[in-house]
Structure 1
Amino acid sequence: MDNTDFRDTWLVIPCYNEATVIQDVIENARKTFPNIVAVNDGSADDSAARIHAGGAHLVNHPVNLGQGASIQTGVEYARSQPGAKYFVTFDADGQHQVKDVIRMLGRLREEPVDIIVGTRFGRPRAADDQVPLIKRLVLRTVVLLSPTTRKLGLSDAHNGLRVFNRKVADAMNIRMNGMSHASEIVGMIADNGWRVSEEPVDILYTEYSMSKGQSLINGVNILADGLLARRL
C-alpha cells in the first residue's frame, strides 16, 4: 500500500535496549506507515541512534521508566501531531507484523469499535503452537484471574499490539509505568465504555527475542500482573 493511505496513523514503539533490531523494525514498518514515534526509555545501548537512523520520531526518557510510561509518552506525542486519527502500539523487538496492523486498522475504520487488541489465541488450537508453552499457560491463567478481562471477552489482554482511535488516545492516561499497564488499559476500556474487539495476530518469537529470555521473564511479570488484576 502507498504510505499516503496511512498519513492519519501513528505507530508508537516503546524501546529499551533494542539497538540490535530497532532500526530494522522501524525501516520495515515505515514502508507502510510514515508516522512512527519511538520512545527510547533510558537505554544503555545505541538504541537512540538506531531509532534516528531508522527515520522515526525520537523521544528520549533520561532514565528507564518502564513500558507503560513509554507508551503513554508516545501516545501523548502522537496525539499532538496534526491529522492524527489512529494509533498503534507496536513492539520494538520484531515480534509484531505490519500485515496484522493493516488488517486491524481496516476493521477499526469500518466497524463500530474504538480499540482492537491482538490475540495469539484467536485461531484453531494448532495456532497456539507459535506461543512458547510456559508463556501460553501464563497468559491463559491471567485471563482466568481477571474478571474484567473475561467480561470484555478478551483472550490475550497482554498482547502489546493494539490499534485505537482518537477517542481512546485522548483519554488514555497510563499511570502504571511497568508491565502492569496492560491490566490498567483493560480497566480503562471497561471504565470508559470503549467498544473493544480482538483480532488474531501472528507473534514472531525470534531467536533474538528468545535469547533475551523475554518469554520467561515477561511470563512471570504477566502472572504477577494478573494477580493484581483480580481487583479489576
Structure 2
Amino acid sequence: MLIVDDGSSDRTAEIAGRTVRDGERPVHFVRLPLNSGIGVTVQTGYLFANSRGGYEYVIQCDADGQHDPADIPHLVAECRRRNLDLCIGSRFLAGDGDGYQSTFSRRLGIRFFVRLIGILSGARVTDPTSGFRCAGPRVWRRFAHRYPEDYPEPESLFWCVRNGLTVGEVPVRMRPRAGGMSSIVYLHTLYYMTKVSLAILVDRLRVKDF
C-alpha cells in the first residue's frame, strides 16, 4: 500500500506517518513538497510501482472515503477473469440507482463524457470520471511515464480505448465524501468539461501507441 500526500496543509502527513509505523501490513508513504494536483499525485503512485517492480496490478483509490477498499478484490478478479488492462469501479452498475447522489453538475459531466467517449471510440463505459481503478501492466507502466495533469480520469480512459486496450467495469458503492472538497464545483464544471473535451479530441488525432 502507498499513501501519496499532495503537499497537504492538514494532519495527513502525521496520520499517514503513524500508519506506516504502526500498521499491521507494509505501508509506504510519499509526501510531495507542494500541492501539485491529482495528475501528478496519481502518477507518483505509478512511478513508485514502476521503480520497485514486482507488481501485477496497481489500484488507484481516493482518500476522501468515497471508495470502499473491500471492493478492491472485485476489481482485480474482473481484470484476471476478462484479461482486462483497466477495470473501473462504477457507481452506476450497483443496481440501486446512483448509490450516493453526487451533485447535479457532476452527474451532468459524467453523462457528457459517457457520450463523448462512446461517439469517438465506440466504447461503452458508465462512470468515466471514477477514480477507483485497477490497472494492469500495459496501463500502469505507460502511466508512470506519461499521465494527464488535470482531471485525468476521462482522458486516460480514452487513451486506453483509443489504443485498443481492454477496459471493463464492476459495480461498486460510492459513499458520501468524508473529508475534503471536490475541485469540480459550480463554474469549474464548465472549465473542466471544456478542458478535458479538448484534450480528448486532440488525443483522438494522435498516432496509436500500440
Q: Per residue, is there more strand in 1 or in 2?
A: 1
2:5 corresponds to which of 40, 44, 50 = 40
Contact 1:144–1:150 (Cα < 8 Å) also in 2:
no
2-side partners of 1:204 and 1:46: how far apart? 22
1:88 and 2:56 equivalent? no
Supply the distance in 1 between the matched residues of 2:195 and 2:128 (Cα, whole angstroms): 11
Matched, 1:131 2:101: yes
Q: CA deviation at 1:150?
A: 5.9
Give the paired residue count.
Answer: 192
**Which residue among 144, 149, 174 is the counterpart of 1:177?**
149
Letter in 2 for 1:159: S
Correspondence 1:217 to 2:182: no
- Kindly report the root-mean-square deviation, in angstroms, between the aligned alpha carbons of the 2 structures: 2.5
Indicate which of 7, 10, 17 corresponds to 1:52. Answer: 17
Task: State the structure with bigger RCO (CA 8 A, min sep 6), 1 or 2.
Answer: 2
How has the CA–CA distance of structure 1 residues 81 and 120 changed in structure 2, closer, same or farther, with 3 Å as cutoff? same
| 2:121/2:162 contact within 8 Å kept | no
Instruction: State the alpha-carbon separation in 2 of the partners of residues 148 and 117 from structure 1.
Output: 19
**What CA distance in whole angstroms lies between the structure 1 residues aligned with 2:36 and 2:146?**
12
Aligned counterpart for 1:72 among listed residues 38, 43, 46: 43
Asked if structure 2 preserves the Cα contact closer than 8 Å seen for 1:39 and 1:60, the reply is: yes
Identify unmatched segments of 5+ residues in structure 2.
21-26, 205-210
**Structure 1 residues 51-71: Cα deviation after superposition (integer angstroms, max 9, x where no partner):** 121223111211111111111
Q: Does 1:144 align with 2:115?
A: yes
- Distance (Å, rounded) in 2 between the aligned partners of 1:93 and 1:201: 16
Tell me the distance in 2 between the aligned counterparts of 1:46 and 1:53: 11
TM-score (structure 1 length as normaliser): 0.72
Alignment of 1:156 onto 2:127: yes
State the one-letter code of the partner of 2:193: L
Q: Does the C-alpha gap of structure 1 residues 52 and 148 become closer, same or farther in structure 2, counting only changes over 3 Å?
A: farther
Matched with 1:28 is: none
Aligned sequence identity (%)? 27
Q: What residue is the counterpart of 2:208 in the other structure?
A: none
Partners of 1:54 and 1:148 lie apart in 2 by: 44
* In structure 2, C-alpha distance between the alignment counterparts of 1:230 and 1:192, rounded to whole Å: 13
Q: Is the 8 A contact 2:117 2:123 kept in 1?
A: no
CA displacement 1:103-123 (0-9 Å, x = unmatched)? 111111222211101112124
Distance 1:82 1:142 in 2: 33
Instruction: Call closer, same or farther: CA 1:139–1:187 in 2, change over 3 Å.
Output: closer
